[in-house]
Amino acid sequence: MEPMNNESIASGSTVTIGLKKFHNGRFSDTEDILAIEEPLEIRLGYGPSGNRKVSNVSVTMRTPGSDEELATGFLFTEGIISNRDQISKVEHLFIACREDKQNTILVNLTENAIPKLPEIERSFYTTSSCGVCGKGSIEAIRTVGPPKKEDIGLFQIDSGTLIALSEKLRAAQNVFRKTGGLHACAFFDRAGELLLVREDVGRHNALDKLIGAGLENRSVPMDDGILLLSGRASFELIQKAVMAGIKIVVAVGAPSSLAVELSKEFNITLIGFMREDRFNVYTSPERIIFE
């Protein structure tokens, strides 16, 4: 077996942004490097030369780089193709977009290859004006999400309360203590008291469970509390927070670039790298009180 190419991430895979850093009781202005998150639409071309078809198979959020491998790997692991010999060509498509992103990739199959496509094509974010890009994804959320409204009596929380949240979540993660293999989402009130916690092997599932519990007890929109994520903050997690009306999101890990953009668009206070004595505030810092 020949050595594999390990250049998996493109040079344009990061972006530098300004933020407010809290450390040892003080805020300071600094910068951070974020991994870029953008949608990649995967299209599949197949059929005989006189009757070629193109299907939109999926849109997945990714960091740009090795898009061809991502697309072909997805098609294989989903059972849509069975081997590499079925592929004749993989190419990026340039679609007019305000961001000029190459976020659509077409996998062309050989004429005699028959893909095993699902009966219903997967849902994905596109708009006629922008195609598949970060702005298009945000516009799609704006279309289906709750209307933006001004804060009435700005909901604020002090830094000490924020720092105490992680330990409260760890104490409530019953299954994680036994297995070490679960993500968790927790919802706290303004005083930092734990109201809800849900765990799952998938971070998106954990948040869906938590918001589902909120729907069940009729506490949605959840605009009067704080969401804590046990891992990083991705676009899809912030999207779910938008739909639930959550205004403060705290992540133990890093946010992606698109998570920051979406938080800014919907006036969400996004906090990352939560530690015992420090955290970064990426958007809407006015909700944080510090002494």
Could you give phi then psi for residue 92, rounded to 5 degrees?
Answer: -75, 145
**Contact yes or no for 235/249 (Cβ under 8 A):** no
Spatial separation of the C-alpha atoms in residues 66 and 11, rounded to whole Å: 11
* 130 is a catalytic site residue: yes
Could you give phi then psi for residue 126, rounded to 5 degrees?
Answer: -145, 155
**Closest to 29 measured CA to CA, from 41, 20, 39:** 20
Strands in 104-109's sheet, in edge-to-edge order, are 53-62, 38-46, 104-109, 87-93
Q: What residues pair up with 272 in beta bridges, in sequence order?
A: 280
Spatial separation of the C-alpha atoms in residues 12 and 22, rounded to whole Å: 28
Three-class secondary structure of residue 207 per DSSP: helix
Query: Per DSSP, which regions of the chain are E strands?
Result: 14-23, 26-35, 38-46, 53-62, 87-93, 104-109, 157-158, 183-189, 194-200, 225-229, 248-251, 269-272, 278-283, 288-289
Burial of 145 (0-12, 13-18, 19+ CB in 10 A): middle
Catalytic residue (choose from 97, 130, 133, 185): 130
Spatial separation of the C-alpha atoms in residues 62 and 106, rounded to whole Å: 16
**Closest to 151 measured CA to CA, from 281, 284, 250:** 284
Length of the chain: 291
Catalytic residues: 130
